[in-house]
Amino acid sequence: MPKRSSPDHSEALRAVERLLAAKPETDDAAAELWQDSEGLVDFYLDGVDLRSHPIPSREELGQACFWMAWLVEVWSVREHQQLIFELLSPSLGVAMYELRPRVAALRQACLVALEKMATEQGQQVRQLLPEDDIPF
């Protein structure tokens, strides 16, 4: 099947429906899903930056981005939703290395939303640093 350049969100919507059918039922499961998703997004970003290892597939990255966005309620932000739809639409051609700025922006928005959620719940999560660098 030839790759399309215009968006058809039906594939992505079906993928999102499948993901939501398996959404986490407990806080612990959600926390584990968050950590796995964040780890995969970080692996992608490092892979693009360093070109030292293969990057995740578009489906894996799309799922990870979806879960991060959905878990902290930034799923409805149009530019993030568009990125996820592009990743979850296999018949739509994408250049994985060129998505890096958009994936990084989604990641940062999710971390900010996570911090806000934790603050509202009276908890503190790790301090956000540029690209979440470890301070040592």
pLDDT digits (tens, 9 = 90+) for 40-62: 999 999 999 998 889 999 999 99
**Average model confidence (pLDDT) across the chain:** 83
Q: Residue 92's beta-bridge partner residues? A: 4
Q: Residue 4's beta-bridge partner residues? A: 92
Contacts of 3 (CB under 8 A, 6+ apart): 91, 92, 93
Which one has a higher pLDDT value, 11 or 4?
11
Residue 130 covered by a domain: no
Q: For residue 61, what pLDDT is reported? A: 96
Q: For residue 94, what pLDDT is reported? A: 83
Residue 19 contacts residue 67 (beta carbons within 8 Å):
yes
Predicted confidence (pLDDT) per residue in 58-71, tens digit: 999 999 999 999 99
Domain of residue 102 covers: 9-19+27-124
Residue 129 covered by a domain: no
What are the angstrom distances between the C-alpha of 100 and each of 19, 43, 55, 132? 23, 12, 11, 15
Mean pLDDT along residues 113-128 = 72
Q: For residue 124, what pLDDT is reported? A: 52
Q: For residue 136, what pLDDT is reported? A: 38
Other Cβ atoms less than 10 A from the Cβ of 42: the count is 14
Residue 93 covered by a domain: yes
Q: Which of helix, strand or coil describes residue 10?
A: helix
Residue 62 covered by a domain: yes
Residue 4 covered by a domain: no
> Into how many domains does the chain fold?
1
What are the angstrom distances between the C-alpha of 114 and each of 69, 73, 84, 111, 128? 10, 9, 19, 5, 10
Amino acid at 104: A
Residue 2 covered by a domain: no
% the chain with pLDDT above 70: 83
Q: For residue 72, what pLDDT is reported? A: 92
| Residue 10 pLDDT level (bands cut at 50, 70, 90) | confident
Site of tokens 């990870």:
64
- What are the tokens at 35? 């950590």
pLDDT at 6 over 60: no
